[in-house]
Amino acid sequence: MKKFFIKTWGCQMNEYDTSIISNLLNKENNFLLVYSEKEADILILNTCSIRKKAQEKVFDQLGRWKKLKCENPKIVIAVGGCVATQEGKKMYQRANYIDIIFGPLTLHKLPFMLQQIKKKKIIIDTKSKKIDKFDYIIPQDKKKITKIISIMEGCNKFCSFCIVPYTRGREIHRFYKDILKEIIIAAEHGAKEVILLGQNVNSYVYREKENTVTFAKLLFLISEIKKIHRIRFITSHPIDFTEDIIEVYKYNKKLVNFLHLPVQSGSNRILKLMKRKYTIQQYKEIIQKILLVRKDMQFSSDFIVGFPGETQKDFEKTIQLIEEINFDMSYSFLYSPRPGTPAIKLEDNISIQEKKKRLQSLQNIINQQTLKWSQKMLNTTTMVLVEGPSKKDPIKLSGKTENNRIVNFSGFYNMIGKIIPVKITKISHYQLEGTPIFRQFIY
């Protein structure tokens, strides 16, 4: 039996793709997944190009694998993900020991490519107009408490800084019945929570003859699955955050009280340069409307610091917004110029020292806010979805609160997979400690 090793960088979409690849090779084609590069006959790299640093890592890694291939020329090296789609043939020109270059939309063809490579020197197949990779998903028979499921792929927004529309292609939305079927199977196997994945989940729409399934409708249909108790989604875009989605927050308690809604900057001038298509006023309106129907909502966001032309004043507006919304957490990055994106042409005259200083101060403020949100939870009882033994201390159990905090506590193994009330007794930033309350019901 041939053995494969797979290394993944990038977002959750890439993690998700890796799980499809692993299942496909494991089950259908009888390859064995191994966790050491040295044992493998096939080395697969699932790459990310969102920032320059992520992309640079790729050739360093390939260089290390080249050495393994020199020792054993039978090793097959396959590169997928966003760098592979973006660079295509150029990757092979730079590293001619690569055997296969595939992309996020062609990954289901990997078993076939692995067969063909015996006859060919290089296979490059990264593009596809169809989204048929989901037809190759093998239903999971493993127990998963949280089901991660992709509902759409690609992006039509073309923010001026972002490479994703060029690497993942235009939006393609999955057939809603396939999504529901996969979730129902997962629920039968013990899933209690779903995370809907996509670059812009809230632009989801599936049109049948007389039926249009919007994102709001999809949320409703999923919430009808009895055994599913929590619904999360990443990532949504402010311009598609329509009233009907806000309405779901009002009535549907299965939607968690935590929303990740990337804003990127607090300055309208910068948002315009970023081509984000909304203003800060519009963003704040969405938040206010959600808070009106759900008082206990917490928000997180993405920020890009040091976008070309960002003045100290623009940056201060971002800080102001962070304090005003009281974001609970964020993913914040220094702007990284990406080839082929419009922002690369913008004049960028801020020094890297200044950018780093701004990023640090933004992160300090968010960290303080995170801590304050956690402090509010001290001595309160919160519902925790128990996931398994704690990574920090395997004698303890670990689970997640609705607002995305990890809670470690002493409990019993039969609590795994259940949602139980836990009193929070100690806090740090994200990690909390607690004691289960046995009096109350468990479901």
Task: Pick out the residues of the known binding site for [4Fe-4S] cluster.
Answer: 11, 48, 82, 155, 159, 162
The count of C-alpha atoms lying within 13 angstroms of the C-alpha of 408, restricted to the half-sphere facing its C-beta, is 14
The minimum distance between CB 386 and ligand F3S, in angstroms, equals: 29
CA distance 162 to 337: 9
C-beta closer to ligand SF4: residue 157 or 294 = 157
Dihedral sign computed on CA atoms, order 230, 231, 235, 238: negative
Binding partner of 242, given ligand SAH, ligand F3S, ligand SF4, none, CB within 5-8 angstroms per partner class:
none
The minimum distance between CB 150 and ligand F3S, in angstroms, equals: 11
C-beta closer to ligand SF4: residue 165 or 337 = 165
The minimum distance between CB 228 and ligand SAH, in angstroms, equals: 24
State whether residue 147 is helix, strand or coil: strand
Residues that bind ligand SAH (CB under 6 A): 50-51, 161-162, 164, 199-200, 235, 237, 262, 264, 302, 304, 333, 335-336, 338
C-beta closer to ligand F3S: residue 110 or 419 = 110
Binding partner of 294, given ligand SF4, ligand SAH, ligand F3S, none, CB within 5-8 angstroms per partner class:
none
Binding partner of 335, given ligand SAH, ligand F3S, ligand SF4, none, CB within 5-8 angstroms per partner class:
ligand SAH
Residue 311 dihedral angles phi and psi, to the nearest 5°: -90, 170
Q: Tokens representing 381?
A: 């009882």
User: What is the DSSP-derived secondary structure letter of residue 135?
Assistant: G
Written as one string, the DSSP assignment of 118-137 is TT-S-EEE---SS--GGGGP
The count of C-alpha atoms lying within 13 angstroms of the C-alpha of 339, restricted to the half-sphere facing its C-beta, is 8
Binding partner of 165, given ligand SF4, ligand F3S, ligand SAH, none, CB within 5-8 angstroms per partner class:
ligand SF4
Classify strands 406-409 and 419-427 as parallel, antiparallel or unpaired.
Answer: unpaired
Binding partner of 336, given ligand SF4, ligand SAH, ligand F3S, none, CB within 5-8 angstroms per partner class:
ligand SAH
The minimum distance between CB 222 and ligand SAH, in angstroms, equals: 21
Q: Tokens representing 70?
A: 């020199």
Residue 47 dihedral angles phi and psi, to the nearest 5°: -100, 165
The minimum distance between CB 166 and ligand SF4, in angstroms, equals: 9
Binding partner of 304, given ligand SAH, ligand SF4, ligand F3S, none, CB within 5-8 angstroms per partner class:
ligand SAH
Residue 137 dihedral angles phi and psi, to the nearest 5°: -70, 130
| Nearest residue (beta carbon) to ligand F3S | 10
The minimum distance between CB 263 and ligand SAH, in angstroms, equals: 8
C-beta closer to ligand SAH: residue 22 or 336 = 336
Residues that bind ligand SF4 (CB under 6 A): 155, 157-159, 162, 164-165, 199-200, 237
Annotated binding site: 11, 48, 82, 155, 159, 162
Residue 370: partners with Cβ closer than 8 Å, 6 or more residues away: 328, 329, 429, 430
C-beta closer to ligand SF4: residue 126 or 200 = 200
The minimum distance between CB 130 and ligand SF4, in angstroms, equals: 21
Q: Which amino acid is at 440?
A: Q
CA distance 25 to 331: 33
Residue 253 dihedral angles phi and psi, to the nearest 5°: -75, -5
Residues that bind ligand F3S (CB under 6 A): 10-11, 13-14, 48-50, 81-82, 163-164, 167-168
Query: Contact 228/374 with Cβ under 8 angstroms?
Result: no
Helix axes 280-293, 243-251, angle to 10 degrees: 20
Q: What angle do CA 26, 27, 33 make, to 5 degrees?
A: 15
